[in-house]
Structure 1
Amino acid sequence: MLRIPRLQIVGTHSGCGKTTVVCGILSALHNRNLKLSSLKCGPDYIDPMFHEKMIGTHSGNLDVFMNGEENILSLLERQAAGSDFTVIEGVMGMYDGIAFGSSRGSSNHISLLTKTPQILVVNVRGMSTSAEALVKGYLSYEDNHIRGVILNNCTKASYFKYKEMLEETLPINVFGFFPPDNRISLESRHLGLITAAETANAEEKIRLMGRIAEECLDIDGLLELGKDAEDLEPVKTRKPECKYEVKIAVARDRAFCFIYNENIDILKRYGAKILYFSPTSDKNVPEEADALMLFGGYPEEYAKELAENKAMKRSVRSFVKTGKPVYAECGGFMYLTERLKDRMGKEFEMCGAISGDSYMTSGLKRFGYLSLTAQKDNLLCKKGETLNAHEFHYSDSTNNGNGFIAEKQGKRWACILCEGNLFAGYPHLHFGAHPEYLENLIKQAMETKQNGIE
């Protein structure tokens, strides 16, 4: 049996304080010199960046829609390997699932799949006795592993009143509180929280979160609860049959930071060496690269810097023309277009590696999970093969491509440019359920390398 000391921190709703509590717990545990791992339920990129900032290691994602129930345990097992303790952050409210009115794919669903004890974060601002009714409802709504509560926006003076009320009337332990404190507030923008790299005084906030958690939470009690988590059956996962000697250039900076770490891990398991570079500040794609990957992020926030880096744009255009594999999603796709128009209507010249423009819109253009079916053979898969994906963007393009048909709740539309060595479009992909699709990209990189393409 596999022993993984672990907890899942869930909330009553988005904005109740899950991320602040998780960051505080991770910081406090890090200060105790524990080797930590963390995961985020759902497709979110930004919260794992905060986890990484806390513990200095990669965080991961557990997403039922994109990875399937059967792969959740293997993802947890790989992420937790070698760790003393694992913290899983929930998404939205703990019962909010893939579809409205369903808890499938919710934080609670993932807790049940992984047999992970849950701590419910409750924002008690403006409540007294209603906090009891709220917690009682969450405890009884569906089967769950709720073992404790943490109160957010709770003063020290009122904490003991809440604790006494909840523990006397409900089968639950209260593990502490987080007080109102503007010094640890996390700012937001149109795609969610401001990323950890952009947060002002991030290191100071992290240290303060850890001090508050140590002072106001029962960290020892949380550790004991996590250590008592049920042992799991080890998962037999398919190991790569081949290792490929290829080098893959991956854009990674403030403009391109939405990267599922599991995707990078899959590339490495197939033998690929990752060459990180910055399209905003470097002058060229790494010369020795056999493939190029441009993931999502905030190109619209750094459009001026990207436009002014003409040397990098020339390098990217030249790379696309070599015939070496090029994969781009969302922000990376926008960067490859001819122009990007920001929210103020100002246009910036992008790489021009593909025809068409991208432009910011006044609201969410496409949001949520979708299923993709290939309309032609492409860099990743064969015609007719399928992928599950996620979109979340306040922009659109004049050339979205037609390599795949996307489907969501009965609606269908064409998307993704799939021409030769190019795979570029808005959908975000997590390859935990289909590592072979990334292997296909690597194989093509190996073939072009062996054919002497420079």
Structure 2
Amino acid sequence: MPVPRLVIAGATSGVGKTTVAIAVMHALKGRGLKVQPFKVGPDFIDPSYHTLVTGRQSRNLDPWLMGERAVVESFQNACKGADIAVVEGVMGLFDGMSGKDDFASTAHVARLLGAPVILVVDAAKAARSVAAVALGFVHFDRRLKLAGIIVNNVAGDRHAGYVADALAEKVRLPVLGIIRRGQRAAMEERHLGLVPAQELAQKRRKEIIGAAKYVQDQIDIDRLLGLCGKNPLAKATPQKQIPKRARIAVALDESFNFYYADNLDALRRSGAELVFFSPVSDKKLPAGIDGIILGGGFPEVLADRLEKNREMIKAVAKAAGEGMPIYGECGGLMYLTRSISGYKGEKRARKMAGLIDADTVMTSRLTLNYTEAQSDGPIFGSARLRGHEFHYSAIENIAGDSRFAYSLTRGKGVADGRDGFCIGDSGLAAYMHLHFASGRLAQRLVDSCAGYARR
């Protein structure tokens, strides 16, 4: 039976759609529903808040990274056992890969899922004009079902009356909520966006739940439930499980926690046993492993603790010297360079693993792109890759004899259209984050580790 679903979208970035989405998820869970959360786009951080609130692992839906079919199949597989699905959008509703169309936008994903859209509009600096904005969204794409509006950042009753009257006259979509500004906890932010939920202290987590309750009390949840879509989707391809053939250590702690849930699932289906460890706190790698994955995150924040944990650095270096496959993404790349410097203006370089003959320097400039590359190196072999890059750092002092695994056709990478430093003949680390939607890349990564296990 199709799972009821809806999409929470924003008129633009910064209108409060994450707060609204979390509030809706919290309210639905409070009614005894099993809520399956999703996030449109490649973001790692918002899903951690979804998971915190719902108790179910949030999934990313990104047509660029995954392809349209994989988006639908990931949605269907994740919804097993759920009563309702809530999808948080990305940026503005129609913002995608370019201005020519809305490919990879929230609207694109909503159409793929046959899901109605609840539009969040910020009224902080407008009143009647909010209706003009909403009316434009209603008429912009008639293929999309805009089901309702939530107005955020309203100053008081008088302001709310102006907005509600204008919407009633001009738009005639149900207004599901008018949210007053203030009295709610602002989510703590960092240079790449929100702080991942895994890092938040218990007190801060309670504040976020309190914010969700404050917002949900201003949303008509009963009416919202009545607007959910239930369109049937094409049947998902059954997911096959390969017997265990490699044991892989995955870094997971305050510094390394950017992982797509679908990636970890794909590795397990490809025959990997995943064991988790902390480069910050653990003194040694898990026993009996055949490979190491160092995901993205914020190694610059705890660079001092990573530097002091020389036992772990030596263990990783020893594994690399023995030819063990090592795969790093973004934060993992930074950890594998010689040093990290420049976080919050700090001049002293913190020594890292040094498996890559280059240094990481924090910058004030955001690098944010979808990426595309041809791989011709360890782990993935010859393959076309799609991914994304998202960081405030640069790789400098790159040794002249460095080997690169990726040739970029889209994106910045580490230097001159290249990304992916080769670590010996069996490892690599790159800025590019990959999604293992098809399972092909997960299969190759596990193949590399299984080959090491057989030696």
TM over 0.5: yes
- 1:53-99 CA distance string (max 9 Å, x none): 11122111111111112221011112212111111000000011112
Structure-1 separation of matches of 2:198 and 2:130:
35
Contact 2:330 2:432 in 1 (8 A): yes
Q: Which deviates the most, 203-212 or 121-130?
A: 203-212
- 1:286-308 CA distance string (max 9 Å, x none): 12222110011101111001001
Corresponding residue for residue 189 of structure 2:
188
Q: Structure 1 residues 202 and 81, CA, compared in 2 at 3 Å: closer, same or farther?
A: farther
Corresponding residue for residue 285 of structure 1:
285
Q: Which deviates the most, 410-419 or 8-17?
A: 410-419
TM-aligned CA deviation for residue 450 of structure 1? 2.3
TM-aligned CA deviation for residue 161 of structure 1? 4.4
TM-aligned CA deviation for residue 199 of structure 1? 4.2
Contact 2:241 2:269 in 1 (8 A): no
Structure-2 separation of matches of 1:234 and 1:185:
41
Q: Residue 423 of structure 1: SS of its match in structure 2? A: strand
Alignment pair present for 1:417 and 2:438: no
Structure-1 separation of matches of 2:268 and 2:207:
33
Q: Structure 1 residues 243 and 171, CA, compared in 2 at 3 Å: closer, same or farther?
A: farther
Alignment pair present for 1:438 and 2:439: no
Contact 1:7 1:119 in 2 (8 A): yes
TM-aligned CA deviation for residue 233 of structure 1? 2.2
Q: Structure 1 residues 214 and 359, CA, compared in 2 at 3 Å: closer, same or farther?
A: closer
List runs of 5+ in structure 2 lacking aligned partners: none
Q: Match for 2:204: what amino acid? A: A
TM-aligned CA deviation for residue 409 of structure 1? 7.6
Alignment pair present for 1:394 and 2:392: yes
Structure-2 separation of matches of 1:212 and 1:334:
39
Structure-1 separation of matches of 2:279 and 2:160:
49
Q: Match for 1:232: what amino acid? A: L
Contact 1:24 1:206 in 2 (8 A): no
TM-aligned CA deviation for residue 281 of structure 1? 0.9
TM-aligned CA deviation for residue 178 of structure 1? 2.3
Q: Match for 1:99: what amino acid? A: S
Contact 1:368 1:390 in 2 (8 A): yes
TM-aligned CA deviation for residue 337 of structure 1? 1.2
Corresponding residue for residue 40 of structure 2:
41
Contact 1:244 1:443 in 2 (8 A): no
Q: Match for 1:98: what amino acid? A: M
Q: Structure 1 residues 210 and 192, CA, compared in 2 at 3 Å: closer, same or farther?
A: closer
Q: Match for 2:31: what amino acid? A: R
Corresponding residue for residue 370 of structure 2:
369
Q: Residue 94 of structure 2: SS of its match in structure 1? A: coil
TM-aligned CA deviation for residue 258 of structure 1? 1.2
- From 204, 207, 211, the equivalent of 1:205 is 207
- From 432, 447, 450, the equivalent of 2:451 is 447
Q: Match for 2:95: what amino acid? A: D
Structure-1 separation of matches of 2:240 and 2:385:
20
TM-score, structure 1 as length reference: 0.93
Corresponding residue for residue 70 of structure 1:
69
Structure-2 separation of matches of 1:305 and 1:129:
53
- 1:392-451 CA distance string (max 9 Å, x none): 11111134852111122899611112342102111111111x311111111221222122
Q: Residue 152 of structure 1: SS of its match in structure 2? A: strand
Structure-1 separation of matches of 2:288 and 2:224:
48
Residue pairs, 1:209-358, within 5 angstroms: 209-226=211-228, 228-236=229-237, 239-240=239-240, 242-343=242-343, 344=345, 345-358=347-360
TM-aligned CA deviation for residue 205 of structure 1? 2.2
Contact 2:340 2:351 in 1 (8 A): yes
Structure-1 separation of matches of 2:276 and 2:154:
43
Structure-2 separation of matches of 1:342 and 1:301:
11
Residue pairs, 1:48-87, within 5 angstroms: 48-87=47-86
Q: Residue 416 of structure 1: SS of its match in structure 2? A: strand
Q: Residue 74 of structure 1: SS of its match in structure 2? A: helix
Q: Structure 1 residues 103 and 114, CA, compared in 2 at 3 Å: closer, same or farther?
A: same
Corresponding residue for residue 173 of structure 2:
172
TM-aligned CA deviation for residue 101 of structure 1? 4.3
- 1:3-58 CA distance string (max 9 Å, x none): 02111000011110000001111111222222111111111111111111111221
Contact 1:401 1:414 in 2 (8 A): no
Contact 2:389 2:411 in 1 (8 A): no
Q: Residue 81 of structure 2: SS of its match in structure 1? A: coil
Structure-2 separation of matches of 1:168 and 1:183:
30
Paired-residue identity, %:
33
Q: Structure 1 residues 133 and 370, CA, compared in 2 at 3 Å: closer, same or farther?
A: same
How many corresponding residue pairs? 443
Structure-1 separation of matches of 2:316 and 2:362:
23
- 1:329-380 CA distance string (max 9 Å, x none): 111011011111123222001012232211112312x321111102x34202
Structure-1 separation of matches of 2:425 and 2:335:
19
TM-aligned CA deviation for residue 241 of structure 1? 6.6
Q: Match for 1:183: what amino acid? A: R
Structure-2 separation of matches of 1:65 and 1:251:
26
List runs of 5+ in structure 1 lacking aligned partners: none
Structure-1 separation of matches of 2:234 and 2:240:
22
Q: Structure 1 residues 34 and 401, CA, compared in 2 at 3 Å: closer, same or farther?
A: farther
Structure-2 separation of matches of 1:369 and 1:110:
17
Structure-2 separation of matches of 1:420 and 1:449:
16
Q: Match for 1:209: what amino acid? A: A
